[in-house]
């Protein structure tokens, strides 16, 4: 419950090191690791169907949240049940890419 609460507060939050000195990862750390995995996998297995198996849901839920553009603090909403399989599909984030213009009262002084 502590990790979930920390994740919901801030994706850069990390739990303190374990008693054996093992560092813990933030949501951002996990996302970096998953992006690296995807990059390597895409390079080595381009055009192939790939299945990722994870020991817990966090890696996959963080990746799913990032793929659809969700706030990473909400990644647990994308949690996987034990044995669940899903297609990873990127979402479409609508944004306005049209050029913006700023009026200039005294051209060329505004350039």
- Determine the pLDDT at residue 31: 95
Which residue would you say has higher pLDDT here, 14 or 70?
A: 70
Instruction: Kindly list the domain boundaries of the chain, sorted by start residue.
Output: 1-111
Place 99 in a pLDDT band, splitting at 50, 70 and 90: low
Task: Look at residue 104 and tell me whether its pLDDT is greater than 80.
Answer: no
Rounded distance between C-alpha atoms, residue 24 and residue 82, angstroms: 23
pTM of the shown model: 0.67
CA proximity to 77, closest of 91, 66, 93? 66
pLDDT at residue 93 above 70? no
pLDDT in tens, 11-66: 888 877 777 777 788 999 999 999 999 999 989 998 888 899 998 889 999 999 99
Backbone angles phi, psi at 44, to 5 degrees: -80, -30
Between 37-41, 50-54, 89-93, 100-104, the lowest mean confidence (pLDDT) is in 89-93
Confidence class for position 7, pLDDT limits 50, 70, 90:
confident
What average pLDDT does this structure show over 89-102? Answer: 57
């Amino acid at each position: 419950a502590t990790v979930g609460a920390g994740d919901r507060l801030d994706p850069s939050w990390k739990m303190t090191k374990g008693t054996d000195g093992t560092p813990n990862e933030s949501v951002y750390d996990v996302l970096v690791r998953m992006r690296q995995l995807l990059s390597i996998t895409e390079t080595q297995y381009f055009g192939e169907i790939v299945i990722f198996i994870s020991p817990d849901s966090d890696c996959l839920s963080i990746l799913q949240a990032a793929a659809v553009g969700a706030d990473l603090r909400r990644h647990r909403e994308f949690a996987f049940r034990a044995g669940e399989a899903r297609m990873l599909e990127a979402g479409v984030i609508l944004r306005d890419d049209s050029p913006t213009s700023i009026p200039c009262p005294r051209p060329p002084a505004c350039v």
